[in-house]
Amino acid sequence: MRIATFNVQNLRLRAEDGRAHLDGAVDSDTSEPARAGALAHADRMETAKVIAKANADIVALQEVFDLATLDFFHARFLTLAGATPYEFRYCKKGNDGRGLNVAALSQKQARTVKSHADKTGADLDLSNLPTYLRDEPIFRRDCLELQLDRVTLFICHFKAPYPDPIKAWVIRHAEARSVRRIIQKRFLNPSCENWIILGDFNEPVSDQTQSGSALDVLCNEFAVDLAHRQHQGENWTFEVPNTHAHTRPDRILVSPALATAYPDTHLQIIRSGMHTNPGSNAQPRASDHALIYADFPGL
């Protein structure tokens, strides 16, 4: 099984003058003008080409507006790009104020699909949290759980490191703790089960506000980050706009059981169509993120 994750940057279906179309690959909360018409269409063909190139059995997605958007993209773009059809498509409403959600394209039907968007810190018995995380939904978007025959996926999109880096760190750390607790509640012995946490975790280039990564609670002795099997400097998936600073918000974290069963599985990174400087050119864009995938033969 090949499993991928891709932040498709503001994939939203709109209807104007009786015509349906997708937004181009540009963030909706930036000063850059929207990419409309032929340029937006070309952007989404690039997005589709990247997914087709990956040829994954399952693609976890971030920044998808709703299921209608995903169905339209599949029918009008992925098919033309030559992608193997994804019969099963999942997208549930999360907590993002702009309406951008996590989603999945799958060639295999999930046995169960479960949103955790409504979970609070209190629901998960997490201590030492500020009130707004203890008593209100803890995920800025969602943790979408897909149970397949031999593996369970937890698709995430954590809080971005702005506008307040310190508060953002606290939220991302709480989200990471929550994913860990969900898995601990889900499995009697998590280290012996097949599960994968994947998505956009929004870790910044460097963190000067706290000691350690907000993801340490996941990556230290709980899950294995497959990017650690890459050479340093080769595993980046995002370039900070208008700089040459590279970071890797996009991750595939596997259970200890899967890490042991697949010692030679490495990340593959597709950066084609990736753009880094908004407004710098009129070329088609796939996203501002790279797509990453990993192979698990026989899974």
pLDDT (0 to 100) of residue 283 = 87
Residue 277 clears pLDDT 70, i.e. is over it: no
Residue 207 clears pLDDT 70, i.e. is over it: no
* Helix, coil or strand: residue 89: strand
Task: Say how far apart CA 90 and CA 11 lie, in whole Å.
Answer: 14
pLDDT (0 to 100) of residue 110 = 98
Q: First and final CA of the chain: distance in angstroms? A: 6
Q: Compute, in degrees rounded to 10, the torsion defined by CA atoms 288, 3, 193, 67.
A: 70
Q: Is the dihedral of CA 245, 249, 250, 255 positive or negative?
A: positive
What does the angle CA 31 – CA 94 – CA 192 come to, to the nearest 5 degrees?
A: 120
Residues 6+ apart with CB under 8 A from 26: 9, 10, 32, 33, 34, 35, 278, 285
* Average pLDDT over every residue of 152-159: 98
- Nearest of 5, 7, 4, 13 to residue 160 by alpha carbon: 7
* Average pLDDT over every residue of 130-140: 94
What does the angle CA 267 – CA 268 – CA 271 come to, to the nearest 5 degrees?
A: 130
Task: Say how far apart CA 120 and CA 115 lie, in whole Å.
Answer: 13
Range of the domain at 154: 2-295
Q: Please confirm whether the linkage preceding 297 is cis (ω < 30° from 0).
A: no
Is 206 exposed, middle or buried (CB count within 10 Å of its CB: 0-12, 13-18, 19+)?
A: exposed
- Model confidence pLDDT, tens digit, residues 241-266: 878 889 999 999 999 999 999 999 99
Task: Supply the pTM of this predicted model.
Answer: 0.96
* Average pLDDT over every residue of 92-100: 95
pLDDT (0 to 100) of residue 31 = 63
* Average pLDDT over every residue of 97-125: 97
* Average pLDDT over every residue of 268-286: 84
Q: What is the CATH number of the domain that holds 190?
A: 3.60.10.10
Task: Say how far apart CA 175 and CA 90 lie, in whole Å.
Answer: 21
CB–CB of 102/144 below 8 Å? Answer: yes
Residues 6+ apart with CB under 8 A from 187: 193, 195
Alpha-carbon distances, residue 194 vs 36, 145, 150 (angstroms) = 42, 13, 7
pLDDT (0 to 100) of residue 298 = 95
- If one counts the domains in the chain, the total is 1
* Average pLDDT over every residue of 171-190: 97
